[in-house]
């Protein structure tokens, strides 16, 4: 430090702002601080609403503040996460208002592939322990989808492969593309929005999410915890098509089905048109054969029916059945007539007996019936007296009389009134 600079500090009382300004000037004057790389572990990572990212870089002994402004954040290859080991490239500066020095980061990369794999394995273990990879979250793919959603870059090879394969296999399906960012710091939010778009609207029956192959840094957005939790929320089945056959991401484990490639995903969600046509031909052939067999069986049964006696000579059959009925009818009529005759004879006998017992029958032989004035039958001499008015009923009528004389039997006692 020059003597003039030392004299400036020793001969004057300085304000806080002046001190921070001096420090900033000193740091800015050192060329190496304008372009440096720092290795460390990210902690206290915070994202500002304006797109800035604030965090700390630490090692075993020290901590330094760092910031990624929005303009640089949109170009990052990886998304900074707490615990991630990185190499940050940028410049050292002083934040005068806070009195702290910090690194303004322009580029950020993982501290070797191993660091990303460590972060990947930590998240995978965490989500697996919570059950997010369980079969209970796996949904069955539709057999004959009419609407297929695709979340991927609209300009990449993946979308072309998916559309070409789907249209050639199953042209009846409509492909609905959600154009997403699949790489860089903005990719996570873009992919999450795509999942929500299809999950909440249910505009598609199945959704393919993915991109072409690349490095672990290129595919890092598909290792997002937020994205994984969004995928398992919805009823629609998602098919993961990230990278190539050897590439695995968290997205592969939470989706209903994993495809090795985007083309493979299109094959998984679409039936083969030729197979369907062959199946229809087989069904038609089987149905035609079944109907033919049924018609032949019915014709055979009809022929057998036509050979039966009832069809060849129906009148003879009726006559044959009529004879026993006629015999039954005749037997019934004979029994009825016999019963009526027996009942008539019995009725005649009873009528004779009734006639013989009738008082009128007795009267017809010269007898008469005597009644007193009250219509009561007089059966004894002792029941009347001289001068009593009586009525005598004969077979052909009646007449009135007056008792003038009473001649009882010797045994009869007559009371004189």
**pLDDT at residue 122 tops 70:** yes
pLDDT on residue 90: 92
Kindly report, residue by residue over 380-404, the tens digit of the pLDDT.
Answer: 887 788 888 888 888 778 888 888 8
**pLDDT at residue 262 tops 60:** yes
Q: Which residue's structure tokens are 């965490």?
A: 126
| Three-state secondary structure string covering 52-80 | CEEEEEECCCCEEEEEECHHHHCCCCCCC
The answer to whether domain 3-111 and domain 145-271 are alike in fold is no
Contact by Cβ (8 Å): 310, 320: no
**pLDDT at residue 84 tops 90:** no
Nearest CA-CA partner of 207 in 127, 156, 142:
142
Q: Exposed, middle or buried, 409 (CB in 10 Å: 0-12/13-18/19+)? A: exposed
- Average pLDDT score over residue span 8-26: 76
pLDDT band, residue 94 (cuts 50/70/90) = confident
**pLDDT at residue 417 tops 60:** no
- Average pLDDT score over residue span 12-16: 79
Tell which CATH classification among 3.40.50.9100, 3.30.1330.60, 3.40.50.300, 2.102.10.10 matches the domain 145-271: 3.40.50.9100
What is the rounded distance in angstroms from the CA atom of residue 220 to the CA atom of residue 230? 16
pLDDT on residue 376: 85
pLDDT on residue 405: 83
- CA dihedral defined by 132, 136, 141, 146, rounded to 10 degrees? -80
Nearest CA-CA partner of 90 in 78, 102, 112, 107:
107
Of all residues in the chain, the percent with pLDDT exceeding 90 is: 38
pLDDT on residue 235: 93
Q: Which residues is 224 bridged to in the sheet?
A: none
pLDDT on residue 27: 81
Tell which CATH classification among 3.40.640.10, 3.40.1050.10, 2.40.50.140, 3.40.50.10260 matches the domain 3-111: 2.40.50.140
Tokens of 47: 């994202």
pLDDT on residue 16: 84
Q: Give buried/exposed letters for 44-77 (b at 16+ CB in 10 A, else e).
A: ebebeeeeebebbbeeeeeebebbbeeebbeebb
pLDDT on residue 100: 85
Name which of 14-28, 115-129, 264-278 the model is least confident about: 14-28
Q: What values do phi and psi take at 64, rounded to 5? A: -135, 140
What is the rounded distance in angstroms from the CA atom of residue 264 to the CA atom of residue 167? 14
pLDDT on residue 6: 63
Kindly report, residue by residue over 23-81, the tens digit of the pLDDT.
Answer: 888 887 788 788 899 989 888 989 888 889 999 998 888 889 999 998 888 888 788 88
CB atoms within 10 A of CB 298: 10
pLDDT band, residue 264 (cuts 50/70/90) = very high
- The domain spans of the chain are 3-111, 145-271, 311-348, 358-417
pLDDT on residue 358: 65
**pLDDT at residue 313 tops 80:** no
Contact by Cβ (8 Å): 84, 73: no
Q: For residue 92, how far is the Cα from the chain centroid?
A: 61
pLDDT on residue 9: 60
Work out whether strand 174-179 and strand 238-242 pair parallel, antiparallel, or are unpaired.
Answer: unpaired
Average predicted confidence (pLDDT) for the chain: 86
pLDDT band, residue 415 (cuts 50/70/90) = low
pLDDT on residue 414: 52
Of all residues in the chain, the percent with pLDDT exceeding 70 is: 92
pLDDT band, residue 357 (cuts 50/70/90) = low
pLDDT on residue 346: 86
Name which of 79-83, 205-209, 360-364 the model is least confident about: 360-364
């Amino acid at each position: 430090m020059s003597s003039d600079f030392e004299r400036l500090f020793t001969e004057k009382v300085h304000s806080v702002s002046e001190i921070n300004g001096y420090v900033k000037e000193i740091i800015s004057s050192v060329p190496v601080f304008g372009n440096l790389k720092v290795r460390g572990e990210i902690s206290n990572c915070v994202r500002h609403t304006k797109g800035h990212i604030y965090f700390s870089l630490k090692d075993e002994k020290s901590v330094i503040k760092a910031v990624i402004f929005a303009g640089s954040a949109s170009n990052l290859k990886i998304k900074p996460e707490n615990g991630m080991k990185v190499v940050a490239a940028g410049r050292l500066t002083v934040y005068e208002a806070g009195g702290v020095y910090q690194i303004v980061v322009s580029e950020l990369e993982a501290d070797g592939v191993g660091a990303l794999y460590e972060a990947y394995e930590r998240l995978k273990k965490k989500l697996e322990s919570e059950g997010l990879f369980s079969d209970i979250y796996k949904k069955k793919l539709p057999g004959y989808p009419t609407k297929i959603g695709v979340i991927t870059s609209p300009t990449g090879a993946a979308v072309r492969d998916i559309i070409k394969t789907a249209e050639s296999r199953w042209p009846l399906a409509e492909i609905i593309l959600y154009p997403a960012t699949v790489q860089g710091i903005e990719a996570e939010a873009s992919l999450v929005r795509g999942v929500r778009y299809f999950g909440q609207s249910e505009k598609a029956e199945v959704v393919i999410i993915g991109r072409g192959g690349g490095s672990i840094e290129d595919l890092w957005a598909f290792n997002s915890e937020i994205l994984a939790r969004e995928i398992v929320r919805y009823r629609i089945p998602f098919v993961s098509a990230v990278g190539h056959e050897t590439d695995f991401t968290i997205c592969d484990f939470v989706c209903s089905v994993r495809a090795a490639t985007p083309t493979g995903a299109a094959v998984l969600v679409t039936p083969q048109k030729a197979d369907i046509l062959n199946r229809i031909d087989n069904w038609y052939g089987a149905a035609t054969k079944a109907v033919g067999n049924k018609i032949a069986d019915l014709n055979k049964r009809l022929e057998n029916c036509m050979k039966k006696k009832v069809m060849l000579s129906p009148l003879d059959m009726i006559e044959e059945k009529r004879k026993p009925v006629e015999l039954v009818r005749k037997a019934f009529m004979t029994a009825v007539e016999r019963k009526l005759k027996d009942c008539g004879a019995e009725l005649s006998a009873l009528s004779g007996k009734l006639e013989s017992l009738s008082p009128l029958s007795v009267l017809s032989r010269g007898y008469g019936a005597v009644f007193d004035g009250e219509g009561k039958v007089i059966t004894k001499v002792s029941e009347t007296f001289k001068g009593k008015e009586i009525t005598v009923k004969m077979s052909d009528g009646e007449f009135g009389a007056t008792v003038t004389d009473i001649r009882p039997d010797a045994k009869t006692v007559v009371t004189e009134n």
